[in-house]
Chain A
Amino acid sequence: MIACDAFRRHISPYLDGELLGEDRAEFEAHVSGCAACRESLEAERAVVEAIRRALPLHQAPPELRVWVEGIAARGRPAGPSARRGLRALGHPLVVAASLVACVLAGSALLREPGLRPSAARPSSAPRPAGAFAALAVDTHLRHERGQLPLEVRSEAPAEVSRFFEGRVPFHLTLPDYPVERGETKPYRLVGGRLVAFDGDYSAYVAYHMDDRPISLLVTAAERVRPEGGEAVVSGGLTFHIESRAGLKVITWTDKGLTYALTSDLAVAGNRSCMVCHGSAEERRKLEGL
């Protein structure tokens, strides 16, 4: 019989699966007959279980994730500035001409009267849009990878809108554009979910266009002030366009809401955006672009 003190040194390796063979059998035999050691074992097991139940303890911030994925995509750091990658995120980015398509899509969508905010609740000064855009990209990527399931799945805008009702601190009604007889909508609403941002929930809405994912993250305008990237003015609104983690993200504010549109659209033309979202009036406004 080994003394209890010696046995108690085996408690941690036993719980961690590191006590094997005869040592393990001996330990179990002792514990089965020793109430004090059994109590010590259960006490430590309770701590191990408490930690296990609390996992994951930490998750990397979206900005950091975007930075890491960016450097991973490049393979190697771009240079000394890469060491301060988070600060580099705000640098102006070259905007591809194809992004105009996304701008138009966003513009037409936000100009739809159905997207209307409720009275904004009082808040502190809005934050710059960097964190919001990073969150939009992070959420888009996670959803695309199947890591972030939607909480409502429906192609019906009314149903997805109902899901957000009372769950987000603003009113959001997704538009439902009619199509002509025989015409097929080139985009499809997939669903939505809540995403935590700035101490409350924002609305994440997922679409597919030609089987390519497009997403919209929406929050109250008083929380985020769009800025950075390349500013493009259209229809009286200013869109901020930038690239993050290989995706295009556009942020803008309209009628009390701030939006971040994320997609990998590279070659989509203006036609698709206007067909999807634009009324005749909206198309005229966008022709100038």
Chain B
Amino acid sequence: MLWGRKWSAEARVAEGPEDEGFRAAAVGCLDGLYGFALTLSRDRATAEDLVQETYVRAFAAHRRPGPDENLRGWLFTILVNIWRNERKRRRPEAVADLEAATGGLPSQGPDPHAVLDQREQREAIRSALETLPEAFREVVVLRCVEGFSYQEVASIAGCPAGTVMSRLARARALLRLALAPRASAAPRAPLTLVPGRGGRS
């Protein structure tokens, strides 16, 4: 199996046509899966391939999460396992091309200024995330973007919950450093971090 044991242990055998609900719910995870894939790979084409492969495997799977089980966690676990297997085949990490990867980002809105502000926010966060090691990017996106619990993050990432906690703390500290200069350099920037000082006595 390609996904974590916890998810597969909770899975059930798919039952024919009535799994339409499963497929619809799976499609509802698309944006999150794509964002996670992009965070891991930092390459749009790779992210799209990862997402495609995730859905192909999910829909072809004989055992799937039931209606009350954690479909999102199962899908994210499939994706992260595909990524890790793929990465083993690539010696260097995929070259970062986050600018090119923003082509499919939310950009529809009635107010150009609001769109611009949102873009600035996203750009700043994405740029800051890009500076983090992959293990940190992974936990930040799973927790702060996707809202998984520590235990769920641990299952997806394949590490203890305590490791998730420490990685999150370190990742946020690094993010704060990466974001702070931007906040001070651009008064209009929406990323005003509070308080503005270092945070340690």
Contact = CB atoms under 8 A, between A and B. Distances in A.
Residues of A in contact with B, size category:
35 or more
A57 B146 CA distance: 10
Interface stretch (B66-74, B86-94, B170-178): B170-178
Interface string B44-55: 100010011101
A48 interface: yes
Interface string B29-56: 0110111001100001000100111011
Interface string A40-69: 101111111011111111111110110111
A284 to B, nearest CB: 40
B107 to A, nearest CB: 4
Contacts of A52: 144
A11 B197 CA distance: 17
B179 interface: yes
Nearest to B170: A12
Given A43-B176, A72-B23, A82-B56, A61 B168 contact: no
A28 interface: no
Given A12-B168, A75-B23, A76-B59, A60 B51 contact: yes
A57 B27 contact: no
Contacts of B201: 35-36, 39
B122 A77 contact: no
A16 B24 contact: no
Interface string B162-186: 0001101100110110010000000
A62 B192 CA distance: 32
B122 A50 contact: no
A1 to B, nearest CB: 15
Contact of B149 (A9, A18, A48): A18
A86 B52 contact: yes
Interface of A: 8-9, 11-13, 16, 18, 35-36, 39-40, 42-48, 50-62, 64-65, 67-69, 71-73, 75-77, 82-86, 148, 151, 193-196
B169 A57 contact: no
A11 B51 contact: no
Nearest to B140: A51
Given A46-B195, A50-B191, A57 B176 contact: no
A61 B103 contact: yes
Interface centre among A50, A84, A195 (most CB of B within 10 A): A50
Contact of B165 (A12, A82, A86): A12
Contacts of B103: 61
Main secondary structure on A side of the interface with B: helix
B188 interface: no
Interface of B: 17, 19-20, 23-24, 26-27, 30-31, 33-35, 38-39, 44, 48, 51-53, 55-56, 59-60, 103-108, 110, 118, 121-122, 124-126, 140-141, 143-145, 149-150, 165-166, 168-169, 172-173, 175-176, 179, 190-195, 197-201
26 contacts: A13-B165, A16-B143, A35-B201, A46-B176, A46-B193, A48-B144, A51-B140, A51-B144, A54-B125, A54-B190, A54-B191, A55-B145, A56-B145, A57-B141, A58-B38, A58-B39, A58-B105, A59-B105, A59-B106, A60-B33, A68-B27, A75-B17, A75-B19, A85-B52, A196-B107, A196-B108
Contacts of B56: 71, 77, 82-83
A56 B176 CA distance: 19
A75 B19 CA distance: 8
